[in-house]
Amino acid sequence: SELYGCEKKSCEIKRKIEVAKDIENEHMYKGLKIALKEVSRCKDEDVYKEIIDDIHEVKEDLLEYHNDLKEAQDGVDFYKIDKYKEKINEGEEELKSLQIELSKFNVRLP
C-alpha cells in the first residue's frame, strides 16, 4: 500500500501473474509477462502526470453530473435524480482515491 508510481504498477502486474498461474490461464499469463517487460520503461513522472490528468477528468465529470442532477431535480425525475446522485458518489470516491495516490508522490517529484 505504500508503493506508488511504477513500483506499484509492477507489483500489481506481478500479483496478477501469480493469479494467472494459479488458474492456469496461459493467455493471461503471457500478456501479463509482456506488460511486466513494458513497465520496466515506466517513469514515475509519467504516472504522476496520468494521475493529474485523471483528476481533471473526474472533476469535469463531477461538474457535468451536478448539472445533470440539477436538471433532474428541476424536472422532478426521481430515476435520474438517483442515477446522478450515484454517479456523483462514485466520482467523489474515485477522486479521493486518485488524490490519495497522488499524495504518495509527495515531494519526491518536481
Dihedral (C-alpha) 29, 94, 41, 19: value to the nearest 10 degrees? -20
What pLDDT band is residue 109 in, cutting at 50, 70 and 90?
very low
pLDDT tens, 20-78? 999 999 999 999 999 999 998 999 999 999 999 999 999 999 999 999 999 999 999 99
Residue 58 contacts by C-beta under 8 Å, 6 or more apart in sequence?
Answer: 91, 94, 95, 98
Domain locations in the chain? 1-42, 43-105
pLDDT at 4 over 60: yes
The secondary structure of residue 106, as a DSSP letter, is T
What distance in Å separates the CA atoms of residue 54 and residue 109, rounded to the nearest whole number? 18
Measured distance CA(66)–CA(84) in Å, rounded:
7
DSSP class of residue 102?
H
